[in-house]
Amino acid sequence: MHSIIGRTEMTDVAHGTHARIDLAAISANTSVLVSAAAGTPVMAVVKSNAYGHGLVPSARAMLDGGASRLGMAQVEDALTLRQAGVDVPILAWLPWRQADYDAAVLADVELGVEAPWRLALMAEAAERNGRPVRVHLEVDTGLSRGGATRDDWPQLVDAARRAQAAGHVTVTGVFSHFACADDPGHPSIAAQISAFDDAVRYAAASGVEPELRHLASSAALLTVPESRYDLVRAGLALYGLSPLETGGDFGLRPAMSLRSTVAVAKRIPAGTGVMYGLKYQVASDSTIVVVPVGYADGLPRAAGTAGVELLVAGRRHRIAGVVGMEQTVLDVGQDLPSPGEEVVLFGPGDEGELTLAELARQLGLLPAEILARIPAALPRVYVS
C-alpha cells in the first residue's frame, strides 16, 4: 500500500524527487529493539520530523511495533502528535524554543527540565490551567550539554520537591544522556552510570522518587544492559541504521530511500567539462543525465567530489562535478537512459544502490546528518 504525503499532484510525487518510507520496516525495527530491551519499555524518539521520515506516520508505525512512549526535543512536535490523535505518553525533553507550557499542560505532554527557573515557569502554567505538569528532571552525568550539573542538582531536586508538594508538578522521571554509548567499553560509560545512580539516590533521599529512570540510547540499549533502568530511548536504530560502526546491523532494515528521476539525458564529446568550475571532464564521448535533486534536497554538495555513485536504471554511475542546489549531473558513460527513469540516491541496498550508511561513510558524515538535511517539504511516499 502506498500513501502520498506532501504533494497534491500524484504524478509529480511518483516521478519526481521524493523520499520513500517503508513503515513496515520501522515497525519491524521497533519490534527488534523491544525484544532487545528484554522487558524494559521502549520510548521511540521521533525528534526532527522523525529523523526526516515524517513525524506522525513514523510514530504510529513505532507504536504498532511495540513502543510504549514517544520522545522528542520540541513541544511543538508533541502537540502535533496530540492533534493527530496519538494518546500515549509523550516527553518533550528540550522545551526551550518558544515552548508553550500552557498548551503542553493541557495536552498532557511531559516536559524535561534542567533548572529551577524553568521548572517555575512550568509550575505556573500548571497552576493557571488547574492540573499538574508531569516533568522529567535532567541531570548532566558527563555529556556537558543539557541537564543540571552535580553542583546544581540539589537545587533542582529541592525545587521539584516543593512544586510537587504544592500540587503543581508530578516528577515522573529522572534522565540523562550518554556521551560515548556508540563506543562500547569507553570508560565514560561506567562513570556516567555511576553519576546517574548517585543523582537518583540523592533525589530519593530528598523525597523525590520518580517512576522512570532513563539513560540508554539505541547504542546503550543494545550493548549496555545495566543502563536500561525503567525505560530506554531508541532513536536512530528505529529507522534501520545501526548506532554502532561495528557489530553488524542487529537485524535492522533501513526504512528510507531517496529517489528521483532522469530529467535530461544528452551526449557530450570527450574532454567536455561538467558543472560549476568545470573540474570534472568526461574521458570519452559520454552520456550525461541531469537529475532534479541537489543539496537543497539533502544530497550533500561534497558528494560530487567524493566519487559518489547513484543508481540509474539499475546501474551505478558517478556524480559528475559538484552537486548543485537543485540539480545534479551524472556521467553514465555509454548507457542511454530516458527521461523519467528512476534514480536512487540511497536505500536499503536491495537494488544495488548505496545504503545511507555507505553514503555517510564516503562523505565523512553521520547518517543522521544526511537525514536531518532532507527538508520537510520534500514529498514522502509511505509504503507498508
Instruction: Please report, in range form, the residues annotated as the binding site for substrate.
Output: 145, 325
Residue that the C-alpha cell 536499503 belongs to: 348
Q: In angstroms, how far is CA 97 from the centroid of its own chain?
A: 18
Name the amino acid, one letter, at 181. A
Cell numbers linked to 39: 522487558
Interstrand relation of 18-22 and 380-383 (parallel, antiparallel or unpaired) = parallel
Task: Give the residue ranges of the annotated binding site.
Answer: 145, 325
Partners of 267 in the beta sheet? 287
Please identify every residue annotated as catalytic: 47, 276
Other beta carbons within 10 Å of 283 = 9
CA 300 – CA 322 distance, rounded (Å): 10
d(CA 370, CA 256): 12
User: End-to-end distance of the chain based on CA atoms, in angstroms?
Assistant: 5
* Kind and range of the H or E run holding 199: helix 187-205
What is the spatial distance between Cα 133 and Cα 378, in angstroms, rounded to a whole number? 35
Q: Is 7 exposed, middle or buried (0-12, 13-18, 19+ CB in 10 A)?
A: middle
Name the grid cell of 15.
Answer: 516521478
d(CA 131, CA 207): 21
Neighbours of 12 (CB within 10 A): 13
Contacts for 99 with CB less than 8 Å, ≥ 6 apart: 74, 75, 92, 111
Please, how many CA atoms are within 13 Å of residue 259, restricted to the half-sphere of its CB? 24
Q: Grid coordinates in use for 279?
A: 573540474
All cell numbers assigned to 160: 521539584
Closest by CA to 374, choosing from 10, 15, 51, 6, is: 51
**Residue reference for cell 550508511:** 357
Q: SS3 for 162?
A: helix
Strand partners for 323: none
